[in-house]
Every structure is written in C-alpha cells, then in structure tokens.
Amino acid sequence: MHMKTVLILLILALATIFALVCVLLTRGKAPSTCQHQPPEQEDTDDGQSLVFADLTPEEMVQVVQYLQGNLGVQLVDASRAKPSDNCIASVDVQVPAKAEVLRFLDGGGARPPREALAVLYFGNQPDPNVTEYVVGPLPTPVYHRDITMQKYGGKVPYHRRPTLSVEYKQIAGFLKSQVFPTAPSFMGQVMEYDGASLAALTAAPRGFQSGDRITWFVMFQNVSGFFVRPVGLEVLVDHSSLDISRWAVSRVFYNGQYYRDMVQLESAYVQGRISVEKVRKAPQDGDFSSMKPRAPPAALFPLQYEPQGPRYSIRNNHVLFQAWSFAFGMSVNTGLRLFDIRHKGERVAYEISVQEALSVYGSNCPGGMSTRYMDGSFGIGRYTSPLVRGVDCPYLATYLDVHYLAHSQVSRISKNALCIFEQNLGSPLRRHYSNLQSLYYGGLVNSALVVRSIATVGNYDYVWDFIFYQNGAIEGKVQATGYVTSSFLHGDGLRYGNRVWEHTLGTIHTHSINYKVDLDVGGRSGSSFKVCHYTGKPSALGGLPPSLKQGKNQTQPLLLADRWEDSAAGNPPFQTAGVLSASADMNVKTVLILLILALATIFALVCVLLTRGKAPSTCQHQPPEQEDTDDGQSLVFADLTPEEMVQVVQYLQGNLGVQLVDASRAKPSDNCIASVDVQVPAKAEVLRFLDGGGARPPREALAVLYFGNQPDPNVTEYVVGPLPTPVYHRDITVQKYGGKVPYHRRPVTGKEYVDINTLIQRDLRKAPRFLAACCESDGTDLAILTTAPRGFKSGDRVTWFVLFHNVAGTGYYLSPVGLEVLVEHGDLHVSRWQLRQVFYNGRYFASMGDLEDAFVANLLEVVRIQKPRAEAVLGLMRPRHPPGSPGPLQYEPQGPRYSIRDNHVTFQGWSITFGMNPNSGPRLFDIRYRGERIVYELSLQEALALYGSNCPGGMSTRYLDGSFGIGRFAYELVRGLDCPYTATYVDQHYLAESETPKTNQNSLCIFEHDAALPLRRHFSDSQSLYYGGLRKNTLVIRAISTLINYDYIWDFMFHGSGAVEVRVHATGYISSSFLHGRGTDYGNRVGPHTLGTMHLHHVHYKVDLDVDGQLNSLETQDMGYELVKDPWSMQNTIERPYLRRERLERENDAAFMLNSPMPRYLSFASPKPNKWGHPRSYRIQIASFAGEHLPASSPMERSISWGRYQLAVTRRKEEEPTSTSIYNQNDPWTPTVAFADFIDNETITNEDLVAWISVGFLHVPHAEDIPNTVTVGNGVGFFLRPYNYFDEDPSVDSPDSIYFSSEQDAGMCRANPLACLPPTAACAPHLPPFHYGGFLNLSLAPPPGGL
C-alpha cells in the first residue's frame, strides 16, 4: 500500500479518535435528565437555635467529670452500679427558662448560659434518694445547683427511681443463678431451660403501694420476636433491698396457678399435682414470630426522588423549609421535641414535645394484668432506634445521629436515629376545576416536610412524626408497630384478648399519648433567613447516594466521565503531534500497525459512546407478578360503553311511542332521556355467575326519562336490554319506589338553568341605577349560583339564586354583591316563571322594580362594591411567584406493579373491579384479597353540604350532591398534581342531559403510593440484635368531583396488610354570603364584604361486606374495667381491663346514632373460624368528626335520615340498593327513598349484611380558606381491617420485606435488598408528555347548578 495513502488514513483515524473523545468528554459532562442542583438555604440565625440544642458528647463528658470531682461522694459508673451505689443516671440539656430565651431571641438580650440537667441516684447515703442537679455553664462547668426541692417539693424517694439496665441484668442473674436452679426437674423437663433459652420481660409498676419495688417478670422462649412466645411461667421478684443478696421471690405463677416460690412449684410438678402445658420448642429464628422475609424480592417498589435535590436545609439543630423555621432536639426520657417554630418569620409555637406514652394491659396472668407502662420512665429518647434507609424513611431523606448519656458514664450514639425529608403525599393540597363562567384549573401539590424518629421501647415501635404543611398547618402524629405483648393462654383468657398462636393470648391494651403544645400565636417575629442557590455537578436521574448526612446535600459525581478524562490524558495517540510529522521513510508496516490500533480505538470509543449515550437508562418495566385471570368476569359490573349508550337511546326513541326531545334543549313540557347508566344485575345472579359457574347475567341499562308532555307528568325509570342490541324495556319505577315519581322531584337540567338565567337577566334590567351604584354592573357580568332544596313543602319548585361578581379565571364564589333572588320555576311553561322575591343587604323586596324604587327614593342602604380587578380578586388561584425547584416526585424503577384490564385491577393479592355511577360517583365491586371476596360492593352514596347564614340563599341550602351528579362531574385529573405523574389514568363515559354520550378523559387514576412510612417494623436490641420491616405501599384508586364550588377527592386505598381504607378530602372554594348585620354568628369574615358561612359535610357509603361468605353476623368488642382482688396478694385490689364481647342480634341494635358512643371494635364475622378458633372477621374503624346533620324535628330530615347514624347495619335487600335518591334533593319533605325505613329490626345473625357508614366534619370558614380550602385536616373516612380473618399478618409474605441481623452485612445485596437500590434504581423514569383536555368540548352552560 502506498505510504501516502496509509498516512492519510492514519490521520483521518486520529482525527476521528479526537472527535469521539471530544464527544465523550462533553457528553459525559452534560446534565443528565435529572439535574441534582439542590438549593442550599443559608441559615443566618447566627446559631440562635443552639439555645435549644441537645448536649454534645464533649459536653456530656465535661458534666460527668465535673460531677465526679465536685460532689464529694464516690460515683460508680451506672452501667455497673449496685442499688447501694451512687451513680449518674442520666445527663440531658437543661433548656433555659422561656423568658430568658425570648429575651435572647426577640429582645436582643444576652444568650442564656448553657446548662445540663443531671439525674443522680444516691444509694450510698443514710437517706437514699434521687437528686437532680443543674450543671453549668457549658462547655466548662463551674457550678451545680440542686433543683429537686424546687421542682418536686422535696427529695425524690429512692424507690421511685427508674430501673437501670444494670439492675435488669442483676435480676436476670438472680433468676438464673438462684431461682431457676431450685426447680431443676420442672425447668429442665417442662421449660427445656438450658440457662439461655428463656427471655424475661418486666411488668410495671412495681407493687401495690408507695415504697414497693416488687416486679413480675414474664418468661418467654428466647427466640426472634420472643414477645409472642410465652411459656406460662411468671416470677414476682422483690428487689426493693439495696443489698442484692437479700432479693427474693415473692410468688411464682404457672398456667393459672400461684406458688409460694419455685421450690413449691418443683414439688407440685414432681408429685404430679400440676397441669402441664408443654410449649413446642421454637427454632432460634422464631418461626412464626420471625420477621424474616418469606418471599424473594420482586419488582422494585415506587421511590421518591428530588429532581434538583432537597428543598430544605439543616444547620446544627435548625431546619428551614419554604416558610418554615424550627429547632429540633431529643429528650433522653420523653423523646422528640421541637422549639421556636416559625412560619413566614412569625413564631407559631414555642415548644411542641412528646410527654408520655402509656400502655394499660389486661390479662388473667399476673404480669399482664398488672402492667401499666409509662414509657418515658424507660426512655423514649434513649430508645430511639437507628432508622433503616428506604423503609423507616425515604432512601433520600437526611439522617441525623442522636447522642445521649443514660445508665452509663459514657455517652452513646444512635446512628441515623432522626430523619428529615420532604414527602410528596400524592394528592393536592388544594385545587379547583372550573367549568362555570370561565374555564380554568388551579392547584398545588401536597408536599410536606416530615421530622421523624422511631422509639423501640420493649416490644413496641412508636413512629413519631411532626409534619409541616405549606398552608401553615402542623400535624403531630404517632403510629404504633412492633410486636404485641402477650400472655400465656389459659382458663378464661379470651376475656382479655384473642388467641393468636397455640398458647399465645394477644392481650387487650390501650395506647395513650400526651403532648405539650406551647402555642405563641401572634407573638413577635424573630430573625429572618436568606436563601441562596448553588450548582453542583449533576448525578444520574434517580441515583441514590450512599449517605446524606447533617443536611450537607451531596451530589453524585459522573465517575465514567472522570475515568475517561484520566485515560484520555495518558493515551498515546493524544500525547504529541509526533505521529503526524512522521518521516517519509517510516516503515509501512509500522504505520499499518498504528492504523490498525487507531481503528481498534475508534471501535472501542464508538462502543463506549453507544452504551454511554444511554446512561441514565430508561427504567425497564417488568410485568406485574400477579397475573390477571379474570377472563372478563369483571365486565358483569362494567359501566356502559358509549356504543351501548347510543344503542339504548336509539331503542328508546323507536319503542316508547312518544316523541323524545334531546335533553340538552328540552323544555319542562317535553319528554326527554335524562340519563342512561348500567343496571347492575342482582347479586344472586352475579354470584351464580362468578362463583357457581352459572350463566352470565344479561347486560342491561337503566334509563331515566322525564315525561313532561303527558297528562300526568312524571319521572319514569326503565330497564333496557339485553345489550349491546336491546329488544325489551320494562318500567321499574313502581317496583322501585312504590309509585310514579312526581315530576317536580326531577333534578334541574342545564337547559332549565339557562332559562332561569334568562329570566333573572331580564328582571335585573329593571334596576339599572341600583346595579350601577351597588356593584358597578349592568347585571350581565354577575354570576348566579343556585341553592337547594327548592321551597318549603312537597310540590314546590322555588329556588333562591345568589349573585356574585364574576371575574374571568377566578372563583366568583367569594365575591357576593348582597343581591339574591327567589325564582318560581315549577310551571311546565317557561313563560309563566317569575321572580317572586328579592333580597339585598338584609332587606326583602317583592321585585327588582321595588328594589330600584327604594334606591331611587333614597330608602335603601347601599354598600357600594367596586368591581374587583382580576389580579386582586379573593378567589384568584394564579401562582404569585415564579416556579421554584420541583418538589419530590415518585417513579417506578421497574414499572407499575399493578395491572389493569378493562375495569379490573390487580395488585399484590388484591383484585378489584371499579366503575363510576354518574349520580353517586365511584363504586367498587368484587373486592378480593388472595382470591377470597371481602367486599361485594363498596360505593359512595351521597354527599351533603348543609349551610347556615343570615342571607336566604345560605340559610336554605342543603346540597345533596348526588342529584347534581358526583360521578358525572368527576372531570379530568391533572397529571402530577391531582395524582402522581406516572399514575395510570382511565377515561369515564356517561350519558346525562343529552342523547350523546360524553367522555371525561383521565378522570380516574390508579397508582401505587409510597407512604414513606413502615407498614410494620421492629428493631431488636435485647436478647438478639436484628431489624425487620416492610414499607407501607398502597394501591390508590382516585376520582375528584367538582360540584359547583367544592372539589371532593375520593380515595380507595388497598394495603399490604389486607386492609381497605376509604377517605374523602374536601378542597375547592367555600361558598359565601354577603356580610351584613350579625353575619358573624354564622361564620367568619374573610373579605371586605364576604362571610365564609359555616357548614357541615356529611358523606355516606354503602359497604356490602362478604366475609368468608355471604352469611355474616355483627360482633362488637370494647374494653371495660373490673375491680378484682389481686390473685397473688388478696389484701390488694386491681382495676383489670377486660374485653366485652357482644353479638348484636337485630338491626335496631346495630344502628348507632351520630352522637352516641359506639364500640371501638365492630366487626362483620363469619361463622367459620380461623386457625385459632376465632370467627373470621373484618373490622370497621371510622375516622370522622361529624356533628348533627339536622334536628329530628326538621320536616326534611327524613330525606337525609342516613345522616342520623355514624353506622347502621341492615340485612341486604335488592329493593334497598341505595340509601338515598336523586329525587330527594328537590322534594326532601316527601323523600322518594328514606333510609330510616331500612332499619326495621330484622335479625342480623348469619345474614347477608350491609354496613352504611356516615363520615363528615364541621367547616367554619376562616381567612386561610382564601383563595380556596386545603385538604390538610379536611379529610375523613374509614378502614376495613382484617380481624382474626387470617391466621397471622398477611403482609409477612410480601416480597418487599426487609430483615438483617447483627451477624450480616446490611450493605450487601444478598443480605438486604435495600442495598441493591443505588445501582438498580439509577434509571430515568419515563414521563409522558403533559397533556390536559379537561376543557375540551365544554360549553359554559352550567352543568352543576351555577349560571
């Protein structure tokens, strides 16, 4: 080959290499899809928060050294002290007096001296006692002062001291060396005791009178989760003496019998006078009590990531998040505490802190019956356990260490014991969709800052949360997980709990938590802070850094780029230009070799470029493990398709023999089709098909027709079928309602509202000067809002309409002008409708003309209201600031773990069929868990909003939203705000007030939600060292209905524990009245002339539970106290909790009035037992704040009589499908359906039963409801929880379970799947383009009752 040619090729190859390297270098440094550029919030409080800071380890050391050298007594290390020694029990910060702190923070005063609080046990004194000293100033103390007298009024007697860890060890040694050896046969043959096979659990308090220190210790098999492995042996130890050698056994209990000591027990056993219950020896891992995963890891769960890093900052003990600022700390005894909590610079609370956690137990064993744990004495803060990244808190949370000094002279550290993170709650904080007057959407995602610690105190793990919302609200929440404490099951044990294993009684107990909340509302504002931004090197999208410590936001370097930079620097072709200036006589062979090497380099670089170019890779979706084997059975419940609706309309048009006008243009005197929906088959037919192999029921539709063009106008309902090609129809109105539905009861159509609007506009023109003076209006720019019901007696159709200033793009509901009109529109002929009355500013007039005359004659007090400017109107939801850094987002590294087919969804054992009734809203059918049906039907029935006001429109309003159309007005959801961005969105079709089907696109969403919380967990630091836990991930089915001003968020959630959660949140706009007279008797002033009117929200659900079959009974359980003589000390008495069980026999017994007490446990029970002999049951647990819906004397109360009851259980009947009717709204005085009639005292034992559940709350609008209401604190609902339905918690089989012990390397994938997250989850989520079609095909004709 010619040398020149070879050289040219070589030069081209080198140029190619150079270009490829440049591409690699620039591509490597290009920002990935997810740019981690977290804002660093510079905290300029100048260390002011340190006035509250916990002690540092160095300060603790200084305090200990000072006390050792200045008290004049010998101090023994508490970790080895005997009761007769002096020791330091604990050292904690002494928070300065509030007055001193506020002088420093707000008044420019001196910083208070930093001091410590030391608790000392003086056992080696003539008068043993507990003394508390304040030691200071830190860091180099020079004084101490005894504050015991000042604090408690006297010395603390020594017997009151909390038990030290070393004392428990001494008691364990006493039992092992001196007590158990006195019963060798019993301990060896019955207990199989080998010196280490039993674990002892303390009871508390310790005795029956002041001065006692006598404690029951309950024995368990010493295996993983020993708390549920009792062996029946309990020992009462008298450890009151300061001399350990004088400790003694006061009583021994075994299997229901008491003995003087172990010697007596041994004698009875040897002589055969003892009833022995041999407990099967458990394997060391605990078997059923173990938290080890029982299933291999599956597809990764959803994760939250921060596209541009955390939006909060942490400096020392101070946190900044958006408008929030607060200091945090940890009391060694009481746990998590917050100080100086400010919002927008103003102090809201000086202190919020946990004070105590109480557990009171009941049992027929002495240890259980005498237990009243006060966990503060054990140390809630001291037992704050290390948090596991990815289960206890989100993987990307900030984790902080906690230091404490207790029961030792050496400070201890709990690594990562406190976490702080921002949590996207997967729902709106506030939102409103408007299709009235103007089309717009406004909203804000509910993203909150969470401060969390988890204290493992014995068996229980308490999750302590303080949550800071963007609307200025703070939520304190505690959730309990861990192990139950149990007793040995014997005798009448079931009076005190439930059997949960062969010999294990899960004992009844209460949890009571006490908080201190020192609110300083409207106090002086303090220091400000400055927010700065910096840019760091971006990391791959979703990449999970190994640690985020002390709030120092870490970014992940692009290691591949760095490596290529290094290798490029030493790559021979890039060293010099010597190759290009090669002499002409260079050996051709050498050049060819260089050319081949160059080509090989090009090939390698191209390969790297191709693979590198795909990083971060798009998350690879894996198919859900649960295969949908429904085979179309769920379609028996399916909503109608648009094609089926068209077929029904065409059939009715051709087969009724009357002319049908399209409802969108029909007059009251016309006949029209009002709506068409699916007719769900009778339950018996459906179950024969689903369970019995019977034929598929015929598919039918329910058509509602308004017959106005008849001698006797009425509403008629027809069943039309079979679909898709109907050939028959049958009138079911009489069968369903007992007669024809009178025409005046029909819901108002959009066309009727348009005609009313025309009438009102015509009459408004009769008062031009008044309108110009009062409202700067000619009437055409006023919005008109309906009220309901319509009159005062059956047959009325007379409606008050409230007028508001209408500003495009805003919520006009907050701008009343003081004018309201009463329209009579009951006549079939629109021309005969008339305006009957006018209200303005507290006065009533016969007509607009009379109002105008009064104005002209200067006989009217006019409140002149300027027409609001668009940018200043109260209801404006436009953002007031440019977008900032995005908050946390959720993504699914391996795709959705649920599957949807038609109207059927499956998820980790769950199987649900979903649909949407155009009137009553979301409905679910055939809900199964692990293949077993739990609920046949779970459906929304009605939503009531009842108002008070001194204006006629407000005072007469009782909205029954089902008559407007809860399902029909469930509009398109906004991706990323109404639901997570990557949720699955489903269209819903309906036919109402038109002959043409309509589609609400993306109006239902389904997603798996990461709750950023453990579903269950336990950290064990006694007997064995391990951690077990499971993330709380739930499947959510959501729709949001916009009913005039309010937006209701309907959620149905499915948990891994087999529980179903139903919740509704209210947001949107409040409805208001014009402020006049004594208006504030009915609400709060929220604008210049706006009264936010008080109102009730009541929501009703139907829950047709089928627990292990159709035939169920209703069982209640609650706790009572019985005063009994102490079985081991008959001169004493004890208040023992016990379980009151009752089976309710009749419907009247199961109708729980709204304000009456209801048993705390109420369950649908099957006649079939679980493994442990208890009826398989599901418990109904209601979370509601509903008040009286209407006085019983009200003539319209029967129409909403479902609101009388928080819960009512009735026998299921096909003729009682719903608790209300769409016809009740316009004739509540003669209700078409009266729920109270369902309760007729029939037997409810072993019957097919339905639970009817009411939830609600009182809403007194306030300034913070402007511009619109937030969801925080405005949510209610209920749970359906398994109660002895399973033999154990079903979530133990979850593939997401985590477990590792001290003997394993938790950082290795094989031991801990969480350790696999950084490489596995480092992928880019696929985010579809944002699209919103919620305003398409909409006219401004007001569908839900506004004009």
Q: Which residues are catalytic?
A: 961, 1046
Residue 11 phi/psi, 5-degree rounding, is -60, -45
How far apart are alpha carbons 903 and 906 in whole angstroms? 10
How far apart are alpha carbons 1295 and 1307 in whole angstroms? 19
Asked if residues 1261 and 1083 have their Cβ atoms less than 8 Å apart, the reply is yes
Q: Find the angle CA(637)-CA(639)-CA(642) to the nearest 5 degrees.
A: 145
Asked if residues 1223 and 963 have their Cβ atoms less than 8 Å apart, the reply is yes
What are the structure tokens assigned to 481, written together?
């997980």
SS3 category, 55: coil
Q: What pairing do the DSSP bridges indicate for beta strands 1247-1259 and 1111-1126? A: antiparallel
Q: Find the angle CA(952)-CA(957)-CA(962) to the nearest 5 degrees.
A: 155
Residue 242 burial class via C-beta count within 10 angstroms: exposed 0-12, middle 13-18, buried 19 and up: middle
How far apart are alpha carbons 208 and 970 in whole angstroms? 61
Side chain identity at 414, as an amino acid letter? Answer: S
How far apart are alpha carbons 363 and 494 in whole angstroms? 9
What are the structure tokens assigned to 847, written together?
């007509």
Asked if residues 474 and 467 have their Cβ atoms less than 8 Å apart, the reply is yes
What are the structure tokens assigned to 264, written together?
């007596």
How far apart are alpha carbons 746 and 792 in whole angstroms? 16
SS3 content of the chain, % helix, strand, coil (to 5): 20, 40, 40
How far apart are alpha carbons 1315 and 702 in whole angstroms? 55
3-state secondary structure labels for all residues of 1013-1042 = EEEEEEEEEECEEEEEEEEEEEEEEEEEEE
Residues present in the chain in total? 1347
Cα 1343 to the center of its chain, rounded Å: 33
Residue spans of alpha helices (H) in 1120-1233: none
How far apart are alpha carbons 551 and 608 in whole angstroms? 36
What are the structure tokens assigned to 523, written together?
């106090």
Asked if residues 257 and 274 have their Cβ atoms less than 8 Å apart, the reply is yes
How far apart are alpha carbons 239 and 245 in whole angstroms? 10
Q: Where do the DSSP E strands lie in 825-875?
A: 834-840, 843-845
- CA pseudo-torsion sign 788, 792, 794, 797: negative
Q: Residue 1227's CB: how many other CB atoms inside 10 A?
A: 25
How far apart are alpha carbons 1262 and 1272 in whole angstroms? 14
Q: Find the angle CA(830)-CA(835)-CA(841) to the nearest 5 degrees.
A: 150
Cα–Cα distance list, 75 to 81, 296, 302, 717, 934 (Å): 9, 52, 53, 88, 63
H or E element in which residue 762 lies:
helix 750-764
Asked if residues 496 and 368 have their Cβ atoms less than 8 Å apart, the reply is yes
Which of 479-482's residues contact partners 24+ apart within 8 Å by CB, and which partners?
479/1013, 480/511, 481/1014, 481/1015, 481/1016, 481/1017, 481/1018, 482/456, 482/1016, 482/1017, 482/1018
Asked if residues 544 and 1320 have their Cβ atoms less than 8 Å apart, the reply is no
What are the structure tokens assigned to 787, written together?
């009220």
End-to-end CA distance of the chain: 88
